[in-house]
Chain A
């Protein structure tokens, strides 16, 4: 009888130990999986840190570093989703050449408008506040802290199989996508997509020249 009780005792102890070990393993596994699972916040933070890294280099020079910044930003953006959001359902009526051309021109326009702002970078920092995820759509609220104010900047992202990508940015509550949509709509209505593409090209040429 004592043997049996000893056996039961040992058996239970081993079982518990094994279980504990297993749970621990599972725990670490699920924990590390949770940590690896990319979130909109992580995606934005990685990009912002990379861009800030360039801006904060002691020998930062906008004209020289522009292409590096541009490459970073292009990687973080979902240009197709951005273009589709600006156009709306009419997107499907465009042929693939028009779609690609619009997407490229829009990205160039956004770059010209917003990346140029980084030329003026001094000592601003970025604070991350809130992250929201609803299915495949996410948003990240941040603030750019300047000497006189905090500028709210909200990134909107969509989830693809390869991670989270930005399709819109709200600066002081004004959405980039909505603003371009409002601006392009009258031209699109009157002159169609080809008229709009022509105007966008002319504007970009004017900026370069």
Chain B
């Protein structure tokens, strides 16, 4: 049972981390690229400069990344492969169901981020999919134009100008940052749908939901991993760009 005290502690933690992170700029300073060489393609996207992230815990993160990789290959992936006995539409329905459970907290996060339209849309999705969508197994909301746009508390904090802090690869959890991991914990702790569930039950739901997601994925992780000269750097870069894109949406 997640008690009020737990919630309060989490909120305090969130605020503390927010303070710690400060407003670490994640945008890399663009050095003045100026070239007179006509042959050279001057790739200088001034509107979207490359994003980078501080990584003071690189040794820990690399160990953690290696652990998660093994966890994925030895445990998660074989289970997900087993799940593929279920026809894809069935797994898609389960994926919809788990995704629907996250809609209320997504709406709250959007509201806190000052995005009332997005919040209303996520709430509308939850109401429609939970009823007409038979407990969320189907997604009629998308068909009526309410397209999923998930928001988490990490994004909310970003909208307050809080930077990533630094990159963090969390065992069992994956790529994150000080800000986003805190936001992620708070997101599942504050989710009204999970309010009456034990922590173990929340972890169970998360695990099953992860397995369903992996079973629907077409070995993307492996393809990127195998062809990269340094997979750790590849995924760090892709992760931070992906988060930046979600925040700027």
Which residues of A are in contact with B by a Cβ distance under 8 Å? 78, 80-81, 84-85, 88-89, 91-92, 109, 112-114, 116-117, 120, 147-150, 152, 158, 167-168, 170, 172-175, 177-179, 181-184, 186-187, 199-200, 203, 207
- Tell me if A174 and B236 are in contact (CB < 8 A): no
Which of A109, A175, A179 is the most central at the interface, judged by chain B CB atoms within 10 Å of its CB?
Answer: A179
Q: Chain B 233-246 against A: per-residue CB contact (8 Å), 1 yes, 0 no?
A: 11011110110111
Chain B interface secondary structure, helix, strand, loop or mixed?
helix
Known: A184-B229, A199-B229. A113 touches B96 (CB 8 A): no
In the complex, chain A residues whose CB is within 8 Å of the CB of B236: 182
**A81 and B37 alpha carbons, distance in the complex (Å):** 13
Write the chain A residue with the least CB distance to B50: A178
How many residues in B have their beta carbons less than 8 Å from beta carbons of A? Answer: 38
Do A172 and B41 form a contact, CB below 8 Å, given A116-B223, A178-B50, A179-B237?
A: no
Check B227–A173 contact: CB distance below 8 A: no
Q: Besides the contacts A116-B223, A147-B88, A183-B237, what 11 more A-B pairs have beta carbons closer than 8 Å?
A: A80-B41, A81-B43, A89-B35, A92-B37, A170-B241, A179-B234, A179-B241, A182-B234, A183-B230, A184-B229, A207-B227
Q: Is the Cβ of B96 less than 8 Å from the Cβ of A150? A: no
Do B233 and A84 have beta carbons less than 8 Å apart?
Answer: no
Q: How far is the CB of B34 from chain A (nearest CB, A)?
A: 9
Q: Are A183 and B234 in contact, with the CB atoms below 8 A?
A: yes
Give 1 or 0 for each of B206-233: 1 = CB within 8 Å of chain A CB. Answer: 0000000000101110011011111001
The interface residues of chain A, by DSSP majority, are classed as: helix
- Contact indicator B244/A173 (Cβ below 8 Å): yes
Contact A178 B241 (CB under 8 A): yes
A178 to B49, CA, bound (A): 10
Does B147 sit within 8 A of A, measured CB to CB?
A: yes
- Given known pairs A84-B40, A117-B223, A182-B237, the reply for A172 and B229 (CB within 8 Å) is no
Q: Is the CB of A89 within 8 A of B237?
A: no
Which B residues, 9 to 31, have Cβ-Cβ distances below 8 Å to chain A?
A: none
- Among B51, B96, B227, the one with the most A-chain Cβ atoms within 10 Å of its Cβ is B227
Chain A residues whose CB sits within 8 angstroms of the CB of B224 once the complex forms: 113
B95 at the interface (CB under 8 A from A): yes
Could you say which residues of chain A place their CB within 8 Å of the CB of B220? 117
Given A88-B43, A179-B234, A173 and B246 contact (CB-CB distance below 8 Å): yes
CB-contact partner of A148 in B41, B50, B51, B92, under 8 A: B92
A172 touches B245 (CB 8 A): yes
A113 CB, min distance to chain B CBs, angstroms = 4
Q: How far is the CA of A158 from the CA of B233 in the complex (A)?
A: 27
Contact A84:B229 (CB < 8 A) given known A120-B219, A174-B237, A178-B50: no
